[in-house]
Amino acid sequence: MNHKTLESLTITTVSSSSYECTITVDCAVFGFQDNELRLLLVKRAIDPFKDQWMLPGGIMDEGHTLEESVNNVLFNLTGIHDVHQEQVKAYSSVDRHPVKRVLTVCFYALIKPENHPVIAKNYVSDVQWYSLSKLPKLGFDHDQLAVDALHKLRGSLDQNLIFGELLPDKFTLKELQDLYESILDETLDRRNFRKKILQSGLVIPTNEKKIGVKGGPELYRIKK
């Protein structure tokens, strides 16, 4: 079943004479805080995997698209709402859920934690931001979902600058490099990074300086 087919489905469960398959959505929500990329996790309050951490996720609502369902799930479990998300991939292993057949489509979203206070709701007992270097073992197959979502995010850096809310509207090249290094988990050469970014045409100068910072570095914004 390809993504196009999945996106056209508006029912929660697909059934046939031999089996039923529930369709769910999961979302890896990344935030940039204290110069570090973090992942939002929820602690499940019900079985299976009770008291284990995982990505926010839930059943696709009847009559809703996958994208609408992601926003509904995030709001219903964490209070986050109206965030842009990108699709990662679909997962259909027959044993990915211990109770029933479940096909899930994973997304990722990029937000500023300070702009989205979170609260545990419904079948979630806790919500926390975790450093990528200190992630706990996740329930279901969410370890793989989280890895794939980060890989998708890293891959997008070579093509565009879809950073959601991770950056302010106007930023310095150092702030942009700090974000790149956090996502890629590696140190980049300052001169080569600036050259590559400026030659890409993806950012443009604002002709403004950052106030309150030594040297008054120039501010840039992402080209629309």
Q: What is the pLDDT of residues 206-220, one digit of tens each?
A: 999 988 776 679 999
Residues 151 and 207 in one domain: no
Residues 117 and 47 in one domain: yes
Q: What is Dmax (Cα atoms) for the chain?
A: 70
- In this predicted structure, the answer to whether residue 147 has a pLDDT above a threshold of 80 is yes
pLDDT at 164: 63
- Torsion, CA 92, CA 98, CA 99, CA 101, rounded to 10: 10
Last residue within a domain, chosen from 103, 129, 155: 155
Residues 142 and 50 in one domain: yes
Last residue within a domain, chosen from 114, 129, 155: 155
Residue 191: give its domain's CATH number. 1.10.10.10
Lowest mean pLDDT among 31-40, 51-60, 130-139, 162-171: 162-171
Last residue within a domain, chosen from 155, 187, 205: 155
Q: How many CB atoms lie within 10 A of CB 183?
A: 20
d(CA 182, CA 203) in angstroms, rounded, equals: 19
Residues 197 and 151 in one domain: no
Residues 105 and 50 in one domain: yes
What mean pLDDT is predicted for residues 96-118? Answer: 91
pLDDT at 71: 94
Q: CA 113 → CA 83, 86, 140, 183, 218, distances in Å?
A: 12, 18, 25, 16, 25
Pick the residue with more confidence: 41 or 82?
Answer: 41
DSSP code of residue 24 = E
Residues 213 and 119 in one domain: no
List 199's β-bridge partners, or say none.
none
pLDDT at 138: 97
- In this predicted structure, the answer to whether residue 8 has a pLDDT above a threshold of 90 is no
DSSP code of residue 165 = T
pLDDT at 162: 65
pLDDT at 5: 33
pLDDT at 158: 67
**Which residue intervals of 41-109 are DSSP H helices?**
66-78
Residues 145 and 172 in one domain: no
For residue 200, what are the domain limits? 168-222
Average pLDDT, the chain: 86
d(CA 80, CA 124) in angstroms, rounded, equals: 14
pLDDT at 19: 61
Phi-psi region of 82 (alpha: psi -120 to 50; beta: other; left: phi over 0): left
Has residue 163 been placed in a domain? no
Has residue 9 been placed in a domain? no
What mean pLDDT is predicted for residues 119-146? Answer: 95
Residues 74 and 100 in one domain: yes
Residues 151 and 129 in one domain: yes
Residues 57 and 96 in one domain: yes
- In this predicted structure, the answer to whether residue 3 has a pLDDT above a threshold of 50 is no
pLDDT above 90 coverage of the chain, percent: 57
**Which residue intervals of the chain are DSSP H helices?**
3-8, 66-78, 142-156, 173-184, 190-200
Domain count for the chain: 2
Residue 143: give its domain's CATH number. 3.90.79.10
What mean pLDDT is predicted for residues 61-88? Answer: 92
d(CA 198, CA 192) in angstroms, rounded, equals: 10
Residues 136 and 31 in one domain: yes
